[in-house]
């Protein structure tokens, strides 16, 4: 089959869609890969080179001071100092050297460089050098600048520092404590409500459906303060602390409920009516129909909303700061990362390690449930009753 025939069989629009999806995936994965690689690099490597050089090694500019003039040995009329530029350092392979910080690659390695005033310097790839002069050396040892190729190296010290000394470990637990219940609670309530709005007849059902659709477009920032005020009044009446996990669970549940009910109701109302009617003929109650029939069949829709709700609650900062506070014991991951940006803006090794700890859980959740995502969303967007 020719290439033109294959293209006609696949279809140009479908090919464009596949290519667009591939480009989007690549664009999304490259920054994530960069964060992951950078989080395992040392601070000096991050400053000297990009993350894409981590697997092949990188050329870093470093400074070294040659031996003390007092150690020079006289060879006829010539005074010679020898040694290694890596003494007391980490080592590496010297690619070039220079005597000025602005020109660290001025001279090639392995060849004698004429420095003027009767001075010559030879530096080899392994760092050994021979520095000679036709007169006695004076003053301190000469400073040289090196272009050094370092082999690939990675470290887990960044994660150890973040999880132990930066408080990210406690914030990680706090985010899990917030996100898991704040995902489960609205799903449970919305599933019951969606079944009632789909298969139970009662007065005002159409009005409630319209109200749910209208609440989807209400901005969070607009309802945040009234909700907090109402929560504090109820909390003061019952003696409940104003800053607690219960408050943020209820807040996230309230903000996520309209979309959850809308998606689940559209999906559940599209299930075959014959199944529901057959169960009722067999004497099943609404609760039994919901638990034994509706929930198993609605798993794709439940999973798709779970992904969105979990990502929303995990990445949230505003609601967490309002309902949970900014104390060290209550700070969630996004708040802790925001604090690190202010206190350690130049320490990219710490920031990238913290950022990857923040995104690793949503990535796991997404890939664990992604096969249900498209099926659940499509069913919830085109079906309705």
Instruction: Give the phi and the psi of residue 65 in degrees, each rounded to 5.
Output: -115, 130
CA 296 to chain CA centroid, Å, is 33
Among 116, 150, 184, the domain-final residue is: 150
What CATH number is given to the structural domain containing 331? 1.10.3720.10
* pLDDT at 230 exceeding the cut of 90: no
Q: Does 228 share its domain with 273? A: yes
* pLDDT at 329 exceeding the cut of 60: yes
Q: What's the length of the chain?
A: 385
Q: Does 133 share its domain with 198? A: no
Q: Does 170 share its domain with 196? A: yes
Q: Does 268 share its domain with 184? A: yes
pLDDT at 184: 92
Strands 73-75 and 113-116: unpaired
User: Residues 331-352: pLDDT tens digits?
Assistant: 888 888 877 776 666 678 888 8
Least confident of 75-84, 129-138, 223-232: 223-232
Q: Does 244 share its domain with 130? A: no
Distance CA 199, CA 384 (A): 12
Which residues does residue 202 pair with via DSSP β-bridges, in sequence order? Answer: none
Q: Does 219 share its domain with 326? A: yes
Least confident of 13-22, 112-121, 224-233: 224-233
pLDDT at 180: 92
Distance CA 161, CA 82 (A): 40
Average pLDDT over residues 66-79: 84
CB 62 within 8 A of CB 145: yes
Instruction: Give the phi and the psi of residue 111 in degrees, each rounded to 5.
Output: -125, 145
Q: Does 249 share its domain with 217? A: yes
CA 1 to chain CA centroid, Å, is 44
Count of structural domains within the chain: 3
Residue 159 tokens, joined: 């994660």
Q: Which domain holds residue 109?
A: 58-150
CA 52 to chain CA centroid, Å, is 18
Q: Does 172 share its domain with 123? A: no
Confidence at 4, pLDDT banded by 50, 70, 90: low
Q: Does 375 share its domain with 302? A: yes
Q: Does 230 share its domain with 314? A: yes
Q: What is this structure's pTM?
A: 0.68
Q: Does 182 share its domain with 329? A: yes
Among 98, 126, 150, the domain-final residue is: 150
Confidence at 384, pLDDT banded by 50, 70, 90: very low
User: Residues 352-379: pLDDT tens digits?
Assistant: 888 888 888 888 888 887 776 666 555 5
* pLDDT at 181 exceeding the cut of 90: yes
Sheet architecture: strand order including 93-98: 58-65, 143-150, 93-98, 107-108
Q: Does 131 share its domain with 244? A: no
Please enumerate in sequence order all residues whose Cβ is within 8 A of that of 344, keeping only pairs 6 or more positions apart, or say none: 350, 351
Among 150, 179, 210, the domain-final residue is: 150
Assign 3-class secondary structure to 64-113. Answer: EECCCHHHCEEECCEEEEEEECCCCCCCCEEEEEECECCECCCEECCCCE
């Amino acid at each position: 089959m020719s290439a033109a025939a294959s293209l006609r069989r696949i279809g140009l629009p479908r090919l464009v869609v596949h290519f667009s999806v591939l480009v989007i995936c690549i664009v999304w994965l490259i920054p994530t890969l960069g964060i992951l690689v950078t989080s395992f690099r040392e601070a000096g490597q991050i400053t000297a080179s990009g993350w894409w050089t981590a697997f092949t090694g990188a050329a870093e500019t470093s400074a070294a001071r040659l031996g003390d003039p007092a150690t020079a040995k006289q060879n006829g009329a010539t005074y010679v100092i020898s040694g290694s530029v890596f003494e007391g350092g980490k080592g590496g392979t010297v690619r070039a050297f220079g005597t000025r910080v602005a020109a660290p690659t001025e001279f090639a390695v392995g060849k004698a460089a004429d420095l003027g005033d009767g001075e010559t310097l030879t530096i080899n790839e392994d760092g050994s050098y021979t520095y000679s002069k036709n007169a006695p050396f004076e003053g301190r040892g000469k400073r040289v600048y090196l272009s050094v190729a370092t082999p690939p190296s990675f470290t887990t010290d960044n994660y150890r520092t973040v999880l132990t000394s930066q408080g990210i470990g406690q914030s990680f637990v706090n985010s899990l404590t917030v996100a898991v219940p704040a995902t489960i609670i609205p799903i449970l309530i919305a599933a019951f409500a969606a079944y009632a709005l789909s298969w139970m007849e009662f007065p005002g059902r159409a009005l409630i459906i319209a109200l749910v659709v209208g609440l989807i477009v209400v901005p969070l920032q607009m309802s945040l303060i009234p909700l907090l005020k109402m929560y504090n009044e109820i909390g003061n009446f019952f003696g409940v602390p104003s800053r607690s996990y219960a408050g943020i669970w209820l807040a996230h549940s309230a903000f996520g409920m309209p979309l959850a009910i809308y998606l689940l109701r559209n999906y559940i109302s599209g299930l075959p009516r014959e199944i529901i009617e057959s169960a009722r003929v067999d004497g099943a109650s609404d609760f039994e129909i919901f638990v034994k029939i509706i929930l198993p069949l609605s798993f794709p829709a439940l999973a798709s909303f779970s992904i969105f709700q979990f990502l929303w609650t995990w990445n949230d900062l505003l609601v967490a700061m309002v309902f949970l506070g900014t104390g060290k014991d209550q700070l969630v991951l996004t708040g802790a990362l925001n604090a690190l940006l202010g206190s350690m803006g130049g320490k990219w090794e710490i920031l990238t390690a913290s950022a990857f700890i923040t995104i690793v859980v949503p990535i796991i959740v997404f890939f664990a449930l992604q096969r249900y995502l498209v099926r659940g969303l499509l069913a919830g967007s085109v079906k309705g009753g």
